[in-house]
Structure 1
Amino acid sequence: MHYLTGLTLALFVASPALAEDWDFVLINGTGKPIKTVEIAPTGSTDWKPGLEEEAARRAPVIKPGARTTVRLDRPSSQCRYDVRATFEDATTMVFANGNICDNSYLTVKLTGGKPSISAN
C-alpha cells in the first residue's frame, strides 16, 4: 500500500502546473494609441503576446479610451501580471503588477508621465 501512495505522490509532485484559459479587458487610459500588448508574470521577462479578440485584430490599434479583451494561458497559481504596451510612435512601456484574478478590467495609464495600472 505504501508503494502506491508513494507512486501517486511522486506523480502528483512531478506534474506541471496546469494552465487555464483566462481573459481580462484592457482599457487604454494612456492617451496614446497602442499597437501591441504583451504580458508576463510580474517580475519575469517571459513576455507573450496578448491574444486579443477578433475585432482587435481587424483594427489592430487600441485607441485612447478604447478597450480590448486580452486572452492568455495562466497557471492557476499566477495572478499578478505585467503588461508591456508598444505605442504607435514605437515607444514601449511596462505597466507592472496587475491582478487579473480579482479584476476583470485593468486600465493602463500614465500618471505624471509614469506607467501605472489600476483595476476597475
Structure 2
Amino acid sequence: MRFLTGVALALVAASPAMADDWDFVLINSTGKPIKTVEVAPSGTTDWKSGLEAEGERRQAVINPGARATVRLDKPAGQCRYDIRATYADASTAVFAGANICDNSYITVKLVGGKPAITAN
C-alpha cells in the first residue's frame, strides 16, 4: 500500500501545471493599425499568437481606437505578460508587464513614442 501511495504522490508531483484558457480585451490607442498581437510571460521571449484565429476575426487589423479579444493559455499563477504588437507597416512595439489576472481591458498606447499600458 505504501508503494502505491508513493507512486501516486510521485505522479502528482511530476505532472505539469495546467494552463487556463484566458482572454482580455486589447484596446488600440497607439494611433497605428495593429496587424498581429503576441503575448509572452513577462521577461521571456516565449511569444505566442494571442488574436482570435483568422477565420474568427472581424477585421484583418486592429485599427486605432478599435478593440480585439486576445486569447491565451495562462499557466496557474502567471499574471504578468508582455504584449508584442506588429503594426501594418511591419514595425513592432513591446508593451511590458500587463497584469491580465486583475484587468479585463488592456489599452496599449505610445507616450512620447514609447510603449505604455493602461489597464482596468
Question: 1:31-85 deviations in whole A, cap 9, x for unaligned?
Answer: 1110110111111101111132778724111011111111111111211111000
Alignment RMSD, CA only? 1.7
- Deviating beyond 4 angstroms after TM superposition, the runs of 4 or more aligned structure 1 residues are 53-56
Q: Which has the higher helix share?
A: 1
Letter in 1 for 2:64: P
Aligned to 1:30: 30
Aligned length: 120
TM-score, normalized by length of structure 2? 0.91
Q: How does 1:1-120 map to 2 (within 5 A)?
A: 1-52=1-52, 57-120=57-120
Residue pair 1:53, 1:68 contacting (<8 A) in 2 also: no
Unaligned runs of 5+ in 2: none
Letter in 2 for 1:116: A
Counterpart CA distance in 2 for 1:36 and 1:98 is: 17
Counterpart CA distance in 1 for 2:55 and 2:26 is: 14
Percent identity between matched residues is: 72
Question: 1:66-113 deviations in whole A, cap 9, x for unaligned?
Answer: 111111111112111110000111100100010111100001111111
TM-score, normalized by length of structure 1? 0.91
Counterpart CA distance in 2 for 1:46 and 1:54 is: 21
Counterpart CA distance in 1 for 2:20 and 2:30 is: 29
Unaligned runs of 5+ in 1: none
